[in-house]
């Protein structure tokens, strides 16, 4: 019994640690700080293992994808020209929007196909998990490219994820996604102000 409790405490502690890092990562994203990536990388690696244990295939894949996109985003956000950051906050253009839709469709098809050939499929839970995975795939790509619209996708996906994790018994994670929702709303407002400020400076020049 004591070994079981120790094991449970370990899982709960690990989930809490990953959730805290995840919240920090989103907070750094809101502040437009590059620390979003190192904190996010550690959090996603832990969640890959947690989600494997809980058979949430879609979110397992999305966290593995987050890990790869975090490496890319870290590089993209860090690029400088004569000491000045090259890739600042911007809006999506038509080609980027189309590419985001393609990522969404591919993400949905891939995850649903894997669910269908695995023994992890769990009625409507699997469908919801697949939907949020596809949303987050596009959101992460837009975020790595520093596009303001990524916040809208995060808000939608986070709201859907809260009841999903409550149902699966991952309470710290459900609280994390609830916090994510509020930070994402604040992040969109913050980035919008920054974008409008940049436009104002360009007009003045």
String of DSSP letters for 74-117: HHHHH-EETTEESS--B---HHHHHHHHHHHHHHHHHHHHHHHH
Higher pLDDT, 203 or 141: 141
pLDDT at residue 3 in the model: 45
d(CA 81, CA 26): 26
Distances in Å between the Cα of 118 and the Cα atoms of 53, 111, 122 are 15, 11, 11
- Residue 193 burial (C-beta neighbours within 10 Å; 0-12, 13-18, 19+): exposed
Per cent of the chain over pLDDT 70 is 86
pLDDT at residue 184 in the model: 93
Q: Characterize 34-73 residue by residue with b for buried, 16 or more Cβ atoms within 10 angstroms of its Cβ, and e for exposed.
A: eebbebbbbbbbbbbebbeebbbbbbbbbbbbbbebbeeb
Region of poorest pLDDT, from 40-54, 130-144, 177-191: 40-54
pLDDT at residue 103 in the model: 95
d(CA 155, CA 55): 24
Output the six-digit token pair for 90: 């911007």
pLDDT at residue 202 in the model: 52
The answer to whether 170 touches 98, Cβ cutoff 8 Å, is no
pLDDT at residue 147 in the model: 94
Higher pLDDT, 94 or 61: 94
Instruction: Map tokens 């437009």 to a residue.
Output: 32
Q: What is the CA radius of gyration of the chain?
A: 18
Segment 28-54 shows an average pLDDT of 87
Mean pLDDT of the chain: 84
Q: Is a pLDDT exceeding 90 seen at residue 196?
A: no
Q: Is a pLDDT exceeding 80 seen at residue 77?
A: yes
Q: How confident is the model at residue 114 (pLDDT cuts 50, 70, 90)?
A: confident
Distances in Å between the Cα of 198 and the Cα atoms of 38, 140, 149, 205 are 27, 23, 16, 11
Q: What is the pTM of this model?
A: 0.80
Region of poorest pLDDT, from 146-160, 163-177, 178-192: 163-177
Segment 154-160 shows an average pLDDT of 95
Q: Is a pLDDT exceeding 90 seen at residue 157?
A: yes
Q: How confident is the model at residue 4 (pLDDT cuts 50, 70, 90)?
A: very low
């Amino acid at each position: 019994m004591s070994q079981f409790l120790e094991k449970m405490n370990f899982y709960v502690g690990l989930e809490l640690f990953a959730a805290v890092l995840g919240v920090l990562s989103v907070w750094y994203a809101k502040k437009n700080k590059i620390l979003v990536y190192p904190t996010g990388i550690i959090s996603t690696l832990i969640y890959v293992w947690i989600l494997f244990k809980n058979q949430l295939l879609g979110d397992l894949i999305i966290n593995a994808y987050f890990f790869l996109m975090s490496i890319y985003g870290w590089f993209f956000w860090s690029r400088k020209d004569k000491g000045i950051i090259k890739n600042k906050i911007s809006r999506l253009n038509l080609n980027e929007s189309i590419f985001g839709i393609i990522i969404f469709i591919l993400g949905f098809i891939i995850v649903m196909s894997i669910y269908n050939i695995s023994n992890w499929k769990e009625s409507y839970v699997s469908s919801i998990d697949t939907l949020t995975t596809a949303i987050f795939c596009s959101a992460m790509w837009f975020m790595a490219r520093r596009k303001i619209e990524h916040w809208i996708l995060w808000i939608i996906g986070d709201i859907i994820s809260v009841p999903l994790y409550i149902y699966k018994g991952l309470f710290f994670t459900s609280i994390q996604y609830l916090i994510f929702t509020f930070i994402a709303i604040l992040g969109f407002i913050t980035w919008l102000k920054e974008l409008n400020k940049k436009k104002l400076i360009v007009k003045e020049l």
